Amino acid sequence: MIKRQIVIVGGGFSGTALAIQLLRQNNDQVAITLIEPRDDLGEGVAYSTQDPAHRINVPAARMQLSEHEQGDFDRWYRQQPAFSADPASLCQDGAVYPQRRQFAKYLRAQLRHALQGSSVSFQHIHDYARDYRDGYLYTERGAHYPVDQLVLAISHPAPVIPSVFEGVSADANVVTDPWQPHALTSIDKDACIAIIGTGLTMSDVVASLRRQGHRGRIHAISRRGQLPRSNLSGPSYPEYRLSPLSPSPRTVREWLKYVRQNVVIAAQQQLPWQVVVDDVRRQGQAIWQQFDLAEQRRFLRHLRPWWDVHRYRIAPQVARVLADCLASSQLQIHAARLRAVYRVADQFALTLDLRRGGTKKLLVDNIVLTTGPAHQQLIASQPLLTSLQAQQLITPDPLGLGIAVNAQSQAITPAGEVNTRLFVVGPAARGRFGELMGLPQVADHAQSVAMQLVNRSYQPISERCPHDVQ
Ligand SMILES: Cc1cc2nc3c(=O)[nH]c(=O)nc-3n(C[C@H](O)[C@H](O)[C@H](O)COP(=O)(O)OP(=O)(O)OC[C@H]3O[C@@H](n4cnc5c(N)ncnc54)[C@H](O)[C@@H]3O)c2cc1C
């Protein structure tokens, strides 16, 4: 029997979750080829870190492969030797925040399990996809694979070096990609460090430095100087549902007002703001898709920085490290724009334009860039995607968040046509779907794409989001 060849490019969380869902479908007319250069599947940028200071940023009970498996990672983790070896993963409220690599291990256990019960053929090719032409995918090692349906599961390109660093980026004391293994280990414990960015990656870097016994001063710099907020770690709270409102809010401004009102209502019930944001997040895809492009742009321009720090929270363990460093003044946060960076003898001089006015000079020994993945540069970041764009098979989404797709997560061409053989899975499709970065939304998306790949009558992802979110 000739099998339908499904080729998945990228074996991070999205590609691996998709493969697991396809295997579970057990459609023996399908053959899966997963191209991923890393030895281990399920890692990608987020879960490949071996640093024990890097923890998942939501409780394990919220990370699963589908909504029917609620709590499965949590149950799995508590049975692993890693749990007893890492008592710090357990919080006062009973929630666990394992080290991130544990989630990749869990995914691989799920993949093994899916393989055992499936008659679908599956191969992991340890290679890098470079090109796609006339129904074949070509790899760096010179192999080629026939493709009936191609799935792009590539989300996080390496960070782009801001132009202000052009003169110093090759310097050994400038870390341009802190996700590289051992990127921080050569930094002297007493060095004064400037971290560019104050988000999740900065939190990872500070946690790593503290684990290494860093004693020197750390300056973290970003335009607004906003830190990611902490997840709750005290008593557990009931799930909060946004209070009904008729008619439901339509614009970004109306939503902001409505969410603020709900924070007040929740506070009257002795509930923290986090439970309100959690419900907004649950409805995130529906809310996003009811906005037109102008409203989506408005959100990105005005609200996104605030949404990000409240929505992408950090594990209580990491929040404690940041709080300790701030309390001891080892860590200082600067709300500022970086105007200039240059070498002064064996140090770097940084000129900051402070948000509140005035300038400030800093002298530091090392610089670490934590500006995060360059999602706007996703297509330009690698040959496969640039080739697909040159062949008019894919195009960036109009918001610059990733790749343009339709409601089935099929790629849209620059001419606006749908490419029914080319799918995008994971955060690269979030311009269309909205909230599609953390789990469980990415897991749900992978499951939906799997269903569409094997079963064309499956209801499109977006149609599963009710138009009226109330
Ligand atoms: C640092 C970090 C921490 C996070 N922590 C959490 C968390 O704790 N909880 C949570 O809910 N969410 C978290 N997230 C978000 C979430 O889990 C990610 O959105 C998810 O991991 C997306 O993975 P991905 O597989 O789509 O992309 P990626 O992680 O980017 O993986 C893509 C994979 O594709 C491979 N690849 C790229 N190009 C090619 C090519 N041409 N050929 C072959 N292979 C290729 C790469 O090697 C890589 O393995 C985190 C995200 C990041 C970046």
Domains of the chain: 4-157+374-464 (3.50.50.60), 163-229+314-369 (3.50.50.60), 252-311 (no CATH)
Q: Decide whether any atom of ligand 1 lies within 6 Å of the 427 Cβ.
A: yes
The arithmetic mean of pLDDT across residues 210-214, rounded, is: 96
Question: Which numbered atom of ligand 1 lies nearest the CA of 204?
Answer: 1
pLDDT tens digits, residue range 158-177? 888 999 998 899 999 999 99
Q: Could you tell me the distance, in angstroms and rounded to a whole number, from the CA of residue 36 to the centre of ligand 1? A: 12
Question: What's the pLDDT score for residue 464?
Answer: 45
Could you read off the pLDDT of 65-112 as tens digits, one per residue?
Answer: 998 999 999 999 999 999 999 999 999 889 999 999 999 999 999 999
Share of the chain above pLDDT 90, in %: 84
Q: Atom 45 (ligand 1): residue with closest C-alpha?
A: 10
Pocket perturbation via mutation, ligand 1, pick of 39, 45, 51 by most ligand atoms within 8 A of CB: 45
Q: 220 in ligand 1 pocket by Cβ < 6 Å?
A: no
Residue 466 scores a pLDDT above 60: no
Amino acid letter for position 445 = H
> Using CA atoms in the order 23, 404, 158, 288, what is the torsion angle rounded to 10 degrees?
-90
Judged against a pLDDT cut of 50, whether residue 467 lies above it is answered with no
The number of the ligand 1 atom at minimal distance from the alpha carbon of 56 is: 8
